[in-house]
């Protein structure tokens, strides 16, 4: 994976109940907690495995994802063009155990302090009481 030659992308798979949170809300969180304008890069991590991507499971999700991307582009939310790919889901491979729940298990690690914490603070500023602290 770390060579960038597999074609895989580091990603999370979210299983959700649309009665509790909508796909649109998940996309809004996605767009605003990372940089969708950098090609094959997130922070200091560089390579195709770090590309910004949405892997949809059906045509409805595809349409919603494309619509949200287009709306952000039209509104000029980001100063650079969005490079996030919207592509069909094919399969998901779970990470090694040391990667799972990384933030929860390593909150004092420099990566958590300098990369993840600012994203969480940004998320809390945007959604405030909508997001329960216990989930972060």
Q: What confidence tens digit (pLDDT) does each residue in 12-44 have?
A: 899 999 998 899 999 999 998 888 999 998 877
Note down the domain range covering 104. 96-136
Q: Report yes or no on whether pTM surpasses 0.95.
A: no
Q: What is the mean pLDDT of residues 75-85?
A: 94
27 and 59 housed in the same domain:
yes
Mind listing the pLDDT tens digit for each residue in 3-17? 546 678 888 899 999
44 and 108 housed in the same domain:
no
49 and 27 housed in the same domain:
yes
What is the SS3 assignment for the chain? CCCCCCCCCCCCCCCCCCCCCCHHHHHHHHHHCCCCCCCCEECCEECHHHCCEEEECCHHHHHHHHHHHHHHHHHCCCCCCCCCEEEECCCCCCCCHHHCCHHHHCCCCHHHHHHHHHHHHHHHHHHHHHCCHHHC
Structurally, the chain folds into a number of domains equal to 2
Mind listing the pLDDT tens digit for each residue in 43-56? 778 898 889 999 99
88 and 102 housed in the same domain:
no
26 and 85 housed in the same domain:
yes
10 and 21 housed in the same domain:
yes
62 and 4 housed in the same domain:
yes
CATH of the domain at 38: 3.30.1060.10
88 and 135 housed in the same domain:
no
Q: In the chain, pLDDT over 70 holds for what percent of residues?
A: 90
pLDDT for residue 136 is more than 50: no
51 and 89 housed in the same domain:
yes
């Amino acid at each position: 994976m770390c060579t960038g030659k597999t074609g895989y992308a580091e990603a999370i798979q979210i299983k959700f109940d649309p009665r509790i949170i909508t796909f649109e809300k998940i996309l809004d969180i996605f767009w605003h907690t990372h940089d969708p304008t950098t090609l094959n890069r997130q922070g200091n991590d560089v390579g195709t495995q770090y590309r910004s991507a949405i892997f949809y499971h059906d045509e409805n999700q595809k349409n919603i994802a494309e619509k949200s991307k287009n709306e952000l582009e039209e509104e000029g939310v980001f100063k650079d063009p969005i490079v996030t790919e919207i592509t069909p889901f094919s399969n998901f491979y779970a990470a090694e155990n040391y990667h799972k729940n990384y933030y929860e298990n390593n909150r004092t690690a420099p990566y958590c302090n300098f990369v993840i914490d600012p994203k969480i603070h940004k998320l809390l500023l945007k959604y405030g009481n909508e997001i329960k602290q216990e989930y972060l």
